[in-house]
Amino acid sequence: MIEVNKIYHSFEIGKKEKKTVIPVLKDVSFQINKGEIVSIVGKSGSGKSTLLNIISGFIKPTDGEVKINNQTVTELSEGEFASFRLQHIGFIFQNFQLIPSMTAFQNVELPLTFKGMNEKERKQKTLETLERVGLAEFKDHYPSELSGGQQQRVSIARALVVNPPLILADEPTGSLDSDTEKSLLAFIKQLNEELGITFLIITHDEEVAEFGHRTIEIVDGHVLEEVGK
């Protein structure tokens, strides 16, 4: 599903003479198979988010390549990557990243609109997906009128609505209390088992890490892979 090959990345900060280069990822390589739930763990600042952002196409790596579904995504232009994300990747973010001026329904509908799906099909699919995450009755609520857990479920619905084979999540439980966190994890498990969706989840939470099939630990920009339970 995902192949990460010899990824190097460093950030440059400051301007001209004062410029300093911060190396973050050094020779990172690993593979993730279809249907796996893989957790990425590591200390804060170890480069986990940077790695996920490279896989997502939000950052271009300094060197190395990433393949998703046999497509070398690191070669894609910005526009091509956007279309690729629309077709293949769902996202769950730590602070949900819902558009505040749109209702739950409109937020979930948005990726289908981008795809150019016709209105009737789109409405039906959106409603189905909201039902799946158990929020059908909250469809006309704005994000500010929903709890954290509900917002996160809206964002999961938005990720699911295009039927992606892969979902990337950067600390999805970071803003949730422990009860909500538990039910979210259970839901991820369910989606993985029922729909065969591959999950790559960043966390610094022991509980989250243990619940996946496999854990990849980043230390100092290097990969320390641990075999799954």
User: What is the binding site for ligand ADP (CB under 6 A)?
Assistant: 11, 13, 22, 24, 42, 44-50
β-strands 214-219, 63-68: how paired? unpaired
User: Within positions 14 to 73, which residues make up the interface with Mg ion, using CB under 5 A?
Assistant: 49
Q: Give the nearer residue to other proteins in terms of CB position, either 152 or 215.
A: 152
Q: What minimum distance in Å lies between the beta carbon of 42 and ligand ADP?
A: 6
Which one of ligand ADP, Mg ion, other proteins, none is in contact with 14 (Cβ closer than 5 to 8 A by kind)?
none
Q: Is 77 helix (H, G, I), strand (E, B) or coil?
A: coil
How far apart, in whole angstroms, are the C-alpha atoms of residue 28 and residue 8? 7
Q: Give the nearer residue to Mg ion in terms of CB position, either 138 or 199.
A: 199
Torsion of CA 205, 191, 198, 71, to 10 degrees: -140
Name 42's bridge partners: 218
The size of the chain, in residues, is: 229
- ∠ at Cα 197 (164, 57), nearest 5°? 50
Q: Does 215 bind Mg ion (CB under 5 A)?
A: no
Output the six-digit token pair for 121. 């099909």
Q: What minimum distance in Å lies between the beta carbon of 177 and Mg ion?
A: 20
Residues that bind other proteins (CB under 8 A): 53, 56, 58-59, 78-79, 82-87, 89, 91, 93, 97-99, 101, 110-111, 113-116, 119, 158-159, 162
- Residue ranges in contact with Mg ion by CB under 5 A: 49
